[in-house]
Chain A
Amino acid sequence: RKEVEQDPGPFNVPEGATVAFNCTYSNSASQSFFWYRQDCRKEPKLLMSVYSSGNEDGRFTAQLNRASQYISLLIRDSKLSDSATYLCVVNKDTGRRALTFGSGTRLQVQP
Chain B
Amino acid sequence: DGGITQSPKYLFRKEGQNVTLSCEQNLNHDAMYWYRQDPGQGLRLIYYSQIVNDFQKGDIAEGYSVSREKKESFPLTVTSAQKNPTAFYLCASNLGGQNYGYTFGSGTRLTVV
Interface residues in chain A, defined as those with a beta carbon under 8 Å from any beta carbon in chain B: 4, 8, 31-32, 34, 36, 41-46, 49, 87, 89, 91, 94, 96-104
Contact = CB atoms under 8 A, between A and B. Distances in A.
Interface string B23-35: 0000000010101
A49 B106 CA distance: 21
A96 B86 CA distance: 26
B63 interface: no
Give the most central of A4, A32, A46, A101: most B CB within 10 Å. Answer: A101
Contacts of B99: 31-32, 91
Contacts of B56: 96
Contacts, number: 56
B43 interface: yes
Interface string B44-70: 110010100000101000000000000
Given A44-B90, A97-B50, A101-B35, A49 B101 contact: yes
B74 interface: no
Nearest to B88: A41
Given A43-B104, A43-B105, A98 B48 contact: yes
B58 A98 contact: yes
Contacts of A101: 35, 42-44
B90 A43 contact: yes
Contacts of A44: 43, 90, 102, 104
Interface residues of B, number: 26
A46 to B, nearest CB: 4
Interface of B: 31, 33, 35, 40-45, 48, 50, 56, 58, 88, 90, 96-99, 101-107
Interface SS of chain A: strand
Given A41-B88, A44-B90, 16 more contacts: A8-B40, A32-B99, A42-B107, A43-B90, A44-B43, A45-B104, A46-B103, A89-B101, A91-B99, A96-B56, A97-B48, A97-B98, A98-B33, A101-B44, A103-B41, A104-B42
B98 A91 contact: yes
Contacts of A89: 101
